[in-house]
Structures are given as C-alpha cells and as structure tokens.
A and B are shown apart, each in its own frame.
Chain A
C-alpha cells in the first residue's frame, strides 16, 4: 500500500515539475518569434522547490511569489491557458495582457501576485497572514523569494513582524546563489540564511540539494506546524537556475559561474530522476497529458485576440 502511495506521489510531483519545464521550453521555442513581447525569467532547474512546497498547500491557501514566478503559479494550480495568453499579451490572459510574465496573479488559484521589485511582495504576504489570523481563517500563506531578497531591508522588517505576531506564514527562500550575476558570497559575510530567520525567533531549515522529496517533506512539516498555530516557519531551499537571469538563453558565455557548477546541478535534475522512478506506462501517459495541455495552451493564446484599446483605463482605480 505504502509503495502505491509513493508511486502516486512520484507521478504527481513528476507531472507538476514536467508541466513547468515543458511550458518554459515552449516559451523558449517561440521566443524568437517575438510573440512574447516582454521579459521572461525562467524557472528551469528550480521546479522542485515550487512543486515540493505547493504540493502541501490547499487551493484555499494563499501564495505570493516573484517575477520568476511561472513555476510557483503552475505549482499552485494555475491555469496554463490563461498564463500563456497573458504572456502573449492577449485579452484572455490573467490580466488582459496588462501584467505579463513578471506579474502573474490569479485569485482562483490562490496566487495573489508577483512583484518585479525584489522582496517587495514579502510584506504583502505577511499582511495576508495577519488578515487570516484576524479573520480566524484556516489558511496558510506562503511566500517565495530568492536569496537576493534577503539582502533587502524589507525582508528583515517582515520577518520580525511575522515572528512578533506569530503569523501563519511559510517563508520559502529559493536560494539559487546568484542575484543576476552576483554570487551570494559577494553580497554577505554570513551565507547561512537560516541564521537570519533564527535571529527573529522562527524555526528555520536548509535543504541543501534541491531534492524534491526532501523539500516536499520538510515543507509538509512546516505547513503542519503553521496550521497548528506555531507561527511562521522558514525554509531555505538550495537550487540552481540553468538559464540566464532573464530571457530564454543559456549564459555560459558570460562566464560569471563555473560550468562545472551548472553541470553538477543539471546532472542532479529532479525531473530526470523522477522520470526514471516511474513505470514506463505511467511516465508516457503523464508526458502525453502534459504535451496535450501545452499544445492547447499555445493554441488558446494564439487564438485569443489582443485586448481592445478601450480597456486601457480600466481598473486604474476601482
């Protein structure tokens, strides 16, 4: 029985990670056509964090994420069709094309929004957690941010307040070690980010290797602790971005990071790992399903019209 559940979980996590990977590969494929007239920050290589964490969240739980947000949005149960239409700038997009890749938000999926100003979404997530506590709602708020965000003052202010008020929030630091091309060691003396969380009085755990099962299990413990009223929890998830900071390309030619470092993380690819764990028939059906979803999403985005110019002034204020 346990084995069967395990196989289901492998399939579920594999499908979720593969969906993100394949969506972004599709974005890369079409990018040169200039159909996506907007910057994209790809999550390829980092899928295991969003998927491992969000697997523990309910549809009613709330997520805030960053401009590198495709993985978070899809992992939280986002709508691929509307996301692709948003990237294409079409009227069926999540925000009629007004937001784009950097500002994915969808209340139906419980993802409020993403910010392109590093760390800026963190206090909003804390505010959401405060509201949930005031309204006595059984909702866990999760916020994703990169290690670069921990350089920002607002991260520290937010952590302090969340701990002070014992708010039901999970802080997830996706530590890919680079802020654009600047390595974490060039930005801080003490690279142990968990110590920052501990300093504010909240439990903190680092997951070293991007292992999707480990992320998933640690997040489960944290989410459970939050649901039981134990206040904020912090996860530092080591991970690695395979592509350039922005855009569809690879970035080995820039030579800001060692090829071997990137190669090591690629060799440790969680999607390839889980693919091997699955029975071929399960694998094939998941892959076929994901491919069908992506074809449909691209067709949906293509078929959608551009918004009428008269929506320009809608929703500046309400």
Chain B
C-alpha cells in the first residue's frame, strides 16, 4: 500500500495486529483467557493466534479468574509478558485481589527487584441488553491504585499503539476496550509503533469549552460537537487515552483557555474518572481562573436491560450538547435534535 493511500482498519483489527506483531517480535509474549482460542477469537482480536503461534502461547483457561490472574503475575515476574483477556470487564472484579494486592505492589515491596509486565484486557459490553453485570466500566477502581497503569484508547490508531506500549511496559496495565468501538475504522500504520502513557490527545480545537470524553463516550462527544456548532459553540475535545498516569497538563491548559470543563465518562460519576479529572483541574486553576465544571456519565443505577431504560442510562450526544450549552450559561434550555448512535442502533446479538 502506498504512503499516499494510507490504510484504514477497524479497532478490533488494530488490536489483533498489535498482538500479532508483538507475539511475532517477542517470544515471551503470550495471550490467554476464557475463549481466546475459540472460533470467535474474542471479536477477532485473538482469532487463530493459537494456530499462528501454537497452543502454548494462546490458550483457553478454566473458569478461574482469580488464580489465572495470579498465574499471569507469576509468569510475568519469571520473564514472560502475558496478556490476559476478559470478554467482559465485569469479571475483573474476580481478579481484584491479585491485581491490587499483588500485581500493583510487587515492584514496591521488592524495591524494584521484581517487575510485572502484565496486560489485562477488559472489554466493556454496552448495548443490546447487556444488563447489570455485562456492561460495567471499572477503570476508576484501577486508577485509584498506585502501581497500576490504565489505558482506554478510543481510536484504532491508539488501540494498536497503546496495546504495543502496554505489552512492552514493565508494569501491570489494565487495558480497557469498548465493544462499541470495535467497528470504528481509522488510519493505522502497518508498522509497529508505541503510543505513550500519560499523554492525552487534543482531537479538536475550539474556544468556548473543554470536553473530555472517556472511551466510547468520545464518540458521543464528537457527535455533540456537531450539534454545538449549530449554536456557534466550539470546543476543545480531549481524549485522555491514558487514564493512569493521567495527562492533566493538557486538560488544564485547555481549561485555562476556555474556562469551562465537561467530562463525559463511560461510567458512574461517584468517585469516578470524571471526578478525578475535575478535581485535579480545579486544584490547578482555582484562584487563577474562574472555571465552570460539569460531569456526565451513567445514571446512578445498575444498568437496566430494556431498551428505553438502557437509552436513558447512558449520556447521549443530545444530552451532552444540552448540558454544555447550559454550563456556558446560555439563555434558556436548548435541546437539539437527537442523533442516532449508529453503532448501537445497528448492533445485533446474540450476546
């Protein structure tokens, strides 16, 4: 493919390519988890990897998330670079003891003698009635813990580059993916490259408001940007990409320009990533700049299954635009026309 005609692939393909290239480059990399070698291959992200690299380097596991997480940590300490895949992020709750008490602390407790190069992929399963236990995004749990890194890429380019960085990193990395991003296509170089930790991405420049979108909510934020332009409102739109370490500099620099910050999270508000971002920006800018802040995210309920309630549960582009308009102190209530989230409307099961 010529450089004048850059290649476009989707998010799932980008993840597959990152994994394939790293496994090809480094024999210490292996991937495991329930279903990684089945016919569906984790939405294609691990499809036939076991045929390419052998069953020792891509294997299914017993339904033992707790121990299998510890096995990954132990193998990482012993020189391997395991990638543990969870088809739904909700199952990471079964891994918390190992991730928090062991993975995050081994380096510190051994004064650096031990490192844990371990990637844990958690896939968020929004839409089509995933319900209370198959839809949760738990990134804030891991952002709370020193010793863990957290990636939540939104574009195919970042999906590939972040995965390569995560595999090469010598620390445990929680890699949060969103199933509703898997179909998104974008330009992705065929060569191998790293996207750095702790560096946010300014996706769009504006003057009136800073909007931070996390994971799939970035898609809705970009739709809201179009709506806001109807009212002449322009936004700095920032994708944190790396939630821990968090690039607060890029966000605070933007807010010092715009004076208004909205964070739209793919999760609940209480003690969430949005709360953390807002708090850090306020700490940085208070006294120097008058700022307005707003957080949006899941409704404070478990996720319901039925479509009318499910739609209410998640922020929409329409809601983001309305709230941004209100945050800026504009007169009256403005409710733009709803924009269909095609990736959600078009999705069909069976799971």
A interface residue numbers (CB < 8 A to B): 62, 64, 94-96, 98-99, 103, 105-107, 112-113, 115, 117, 120-132, 134-135, 153-154, 157-158, 160-161, 164, 314-318
> Nearest CB to that of B78 among chain A residues?
A131
> Nearest CB to that of A96 among chain B residues?
B111
Q: Given A105-B114, A123-B98, answer yes or no on A130-B75 (Cβ-Cβ < 8 Å).
A: yes
Q: Given A126-B67, A126-B71, A154-B70, answer yes or no on A316-B107 (Cβ-Cβ < 8 Å).
A: yes
8 smallest CB-CB distances across A and B, nearest first, come from A127-B74, A123-B70, A157-B67, A124-B74, A131-B78, A157-B64, A315-B112, A127-B71
Residues of B within 8 A of A157 (CB): 62, 64, 66-68
Query: Cβ of A318 and Cβ of B115 under 8 Å apart?
Result: yes
* Distance in angstroms between the alpha carbons of A129 and B112 in the assembled complex: 22
Query: Cβ of B101 and Cβ of A117 under 8 Å apart?
Result: yes
Please name 16 pairs of A and B residues whose Cβ atoms are closer than 8 Å in the assembled complex, sorted by A: A107-B114, A115-B102, A123-B66, A123-B73, A123-B98, A124-B74, A127-B71, A127-B77, A130-B80, A131-B74, A158-B64, A158-B70, A160-B64, A161-B67, A316-B107, A316-B147
* Distance in angstroms between the alpha carbons of A316 and B64 in the assembled complex: 28
Q: A94, A134, A154: which contacts B80 (Cβ < 8 A)?
A: A134
Q: Does B325 contact A (CB under 8 A)?
A: no
* Distance in angstroms between the alpha carbons of A99 and B108 in the assembled complex: 8
Q: Smallest Cβ distance from A15 to chain B, in angstroms?
A: 27
* Distance in angstroms between the alpha carbons of A153 and B56 in the assembled complex: 25
How big is the B interface, by class? 35 or more
Number of A-B residue pairs with CB-CB distance less than 8 Å in the complex they form: 146
Residues of A within 8 A of B70 (CB): 120-124, 126-127, 154, 158
> Nearest CB to that of B197 among chain A residues?
A317
> Nearest CB to that of B65 among chain A residues?
A157
Q: Does B326 contact A (CB under 8 A)?
A: no
Q: List residues 91-123 of chain B with CB under 8 A from any CB of chain A.
A: 97-98, 101-102, 106-115
* Distance in angstroms between the alpha carbons of A160 and B171 in the assembled complex: 27
Interface centre among B71, B82, B110 (most CB of A within 10 A): B71
Q: B30, B74, B82, B109: which contacts A95 (Cβ < 8 A)?
A: B109
Query: Cβ of A317 and Cβ of B78 under 8 Å apart?
Result: no
Q: Smallest Cβ distance from B232 to chain A, in angstroms?
A: 44
* Distance in angstroms between the alpha carbons of A316 and B108 in the assembled complex: 5
Q: A99, A120, A160: which contacts B109 (Cβ < 8 A)?
A: A99
> Nearest CB to that of B107 among chain A residues?
A315
Residues of B within 8 A of A135 (CB): 78-80
Q: List residues 285-321 of chain B with CB under 8 A from any CB of chain A.
A: none
Q: Does B69 contact A (CB under 8 A)?
A: yes
* Distance in angstroms between the alpha carbons of A118 and B304 in the assembled complex: 37
Q: Does B170 contact A (CB under 8 A)?
A: yes
Q: Does B280 contact A (CB under 8 A)?
A: no
Residues of A within 8 A of B112 (CB): 314-315, 318
Q: Does B72 contact A (CB under 8 A)?
A: yes
Residues of A within 8 A of B79 (CB): 131, 135
Q: Does B6 contact A (CB under 8 A)?
A: no
Residues of B within 8 A of A126 (CB): 67, 70-71, 74
Residues of B within 8 A of A314 (CB): 111-112
* Distance in angstroms between the alpha carbons of A129 and B101 in the assembled complex: 21
Query: Cβ of A154 and Cβ of B66 under 8 Å apart?
Result: yes
Q: Does B183 contact A (CB under 8 A)?
A: no
Residues of A within 8 A of B241 (CB): none
Query: Cβ of A131 and Cβ of B146 under 8 Å apart?
Result: no
* Distance in angstroms between the alpha carbons of A239 and B200 in the assembled complex: 56
Given A123-B71, A131-B74, output 14 extra A-B contacts at Cβ < 8 Å: A94-B110, A95-B110, A115-B102, A117-B101, A120-B98, A122-B70, A123-B74, A127-B72, A127-B73, A130-B74, A315-B107, A315-B112, A317-B107, A317-B146
